[in-house]
Copies of this chain bind each other. A is one copy, B any other.
Amino acid sequence: MTVHPTPERLLELTAFVPFRLNRLATGVSEYLAAVYETRFGLDIPQWRVMATVGSQHECTAQYIAASTRMHKTRVSRAVAQLEARQLIERGSSTADRRERQVRLTKSGRRLYSELVPLALEREASLLACLSSEQLTGFLTGMETLERFLQLED
């Protein structure tokens, strides 16, 4: 019989990796939001759709949902909003009339080509706080975790 019969195990939330990861992801999102939100009036789902469609010639909502890992209803609504702003347009794909091919309009492409360099620059200025060894180490860890959780594409 010891002096401490039930030494209570503690959990310090601020040292708990899942919590810290959430907090970091939120912080990074906010750090980035200035670019697409205040400057171009896009929210996160819209920004992700723009980024996905812009890197393709055209694609389906399905594809967007899969590669952004957003729920298909969230994609559907973001696409509708972007279409209303005339940043993207949809054509019936001749092959399968259930799906609709999404592509950027002229002004969508203009916005995209303005936005992307700013976003990449912002990412770079964030990662610039890491030394090159730190960056490598961090990215390597991320990749392993992604593989473990099967988050890769």
Contacts and interface: CB of A to CB of B under 8 A. Distances in A.
Interface of A: 6, 8-14, 16-29, 31-32, 48, 51-52, 54-55, 67-69, 113, 116-117, 119-120, 123, 126-127, 129-130, 133-142, 144-149, 151-153
Contacts of A153: 14
Contacts of A51: 11, 13, 16
B146 A130 contact: no
Number of copies: 2
Interface majority SS on A: helix, strand, loop or mixed?
helix
B145 A141 contact: no
Given A8-B113, A25-B25, A144-B130, A149 B31 contact: yes
A10 B21 CA distance: 27
Contacts of A17: 28, 123, 126-127, 139
